[in-house]
Amino acid sequence: MNISEKSKKTYLFLGLLFSTTLIMAQDVVTAPAAGSVAPASAPIYEQLGVSSTTLFTVMTIFTFLLLAFMMSMANSTKNILKYKQDLTKKNHTPKALLALIGLFVSSQAMAAPAAQGTSLIPFSDTVFWTYIVVDIVLIMFIIYFAGIVKGSISDVIVLRKMFRWKKLGKTLTNYVPIEEEASILLDHDYDGIKELDNQLPPWWKYGFYITIVWAFVYFFYYQVLEIGPLQQAEYELEMEEGERQMAEYKSLHPEMITAETAELLTDAATLSAGREVFETYCVSCHMEKGMGGVGPNLTDAFWMYGGDITSVFTTISEGKPQNGMAAWKNLLAADKIQAVSSYVLQLDYIAPPTGKEPQGVEE
C-alpha cells in the first residue's frame, strides 16, 4: 500500500471520528430538558470555570489545528517518498480535505435547527472526552508521520552529500571515466601501448599557481619591504626568548641550580638579592664589602678555592670545614647561593691595609 492510499484511509477514519463527535453533540442539544436527572457532579466546563460555548470553541479550534498539522505532515511525507521513489500517482489530499469539510458542514447543518433559540452550545462530558480521544489519535498520527519524514530526510541528505562529494572529486581531479577514454586517446601506439591525453589534475595546477604567487609575496615581505625578520634574526629572537623562559623557569625552580649550571648574573635584581644575603650571613667573617676579616679578602684577584662562578658556588654551598667555612646548602636555596656568588665576583677591590692581605692563588 503506497502513501496515497494510506492517506485516503487516514482521512476517512478521521472524518468518521468527527462525524461521530458532532452527532453526539447534536443528540445532547436536542435532548429534552424537562424531567432530566441532575448529574452527580458538575460538568467539566464548570469545573474549569468556563462556559460550555468557550470550551467547545477552544476544543474545536485545537482539534482542527492538530488536524491541519497532521494533514501537512502527511502531505510532506508523501512528497518526500515521492521524491525518493519517483512516484507519479495523483495527490488525493485536496479531495480528502473537501470530504472532511463536507462532513463537518453537513453535521453542523443538521445540528443548526435544534440549536435555534439558545445562545449556548451544550458541551457534555462525553463529547469533551471524545474530543480528547480524537486529539490523541491526531497526535499519534503526527508522531508517526514525523518519524517517516525524519528518516526519509536523513536518507535524502546522505544521498545528496554523496553526490556532492562525487561532484567535488570530479572537479578536483578532472578524471575521464573509462567508458569515455576514447575521446582523449592519442594516435601514439608503442607496441600496442596507447597513450591518453590526460590533463593535469586541477588541484595540482592550482597548488602550483599558489606557490608561484606565494614566492612573490614572500620575496617582497622579507627581502624588499623587510617587514618580517630573516632567518638569522629570527634565530636570535628565538634564542633570546628561550633564555628568558629558561631564566623564568629556574627562578620558579631554584632546586634545579647546581654548581655546574650556575651562571654569573649581573642584573640589578640578582645583585641586590646577593648583597642582602651577604650582609645577613657573610659579613661576620668577610667584613663589610668583602674586605676580609676572619675569612679572606673577597675583593682582590687571589682565590683559595677558585675565582669562577662554579668554584665560588661550590665553596659557599659545600663549605670548607678545614678553614672554618660552613656549608650553606642546607640554609640557603640554590638561587640565593647563585645570587651571592654573583655579588661577590663583582665587588670593588679594597687594597691593604684597609683590605686583608691576599690569600691563595692569583687568577
Q: Is the pLDDT of residue 124 over 50?
A: yes
Given a contact cutoff of 8 angstroms between Cβ atoms, the answer to whether 138 and 14 are in contact is yes
Residues in CB range of 250: below 8 A, 6 or more apart: 256, 257, 335
Domain at 255-362, CATH homologous superfamily: Cytochrome c-like domain (1.10.760.10)
The pTM of the full predicted model, rounded to 2 decimals, is 0.38
Q: Where are the domains of the chain?
A: 3-31+40-170, 255-362
Residue 72 — pLDDT band, cuts 50, 70, 90? Answer: confident
Class of residue 7 by CB neighbours under 10 A (exposed 0-12, middle 13-18, buried 19+): buried
Alpha carbon distance 328, 344 (integer Å): 15
Taking Cα atoms as reference points, which of 291, 359, 286, 358 lies closest to residue 326?
A: 286
Given a contact cutoff of 8 angstroms between Cβ atoms, the answer to whether 360 and 345 are in contact is no
Alpha carbon distance 32, 45 (integer Å): 20
pLDDT for 110 equals: 37
pLDDT for 341 equals: 94
> What pLDDT digit, counting tens, does each position of 196-236 carry?
888 888 899 999 999 999 999 999 999 898 888 899 999 99
What DSSP string describes 298-354? SSSSEESS-SSHHHHHHHHHH-BGGGTBPP-TTTS-HHHHHHHHHHHTTPPP--TTT
Q: Is the pLDDT of residue 96 over 90?
A: no
E-state strands within the chain: 185-190, 193-196, 302-303, 361-362
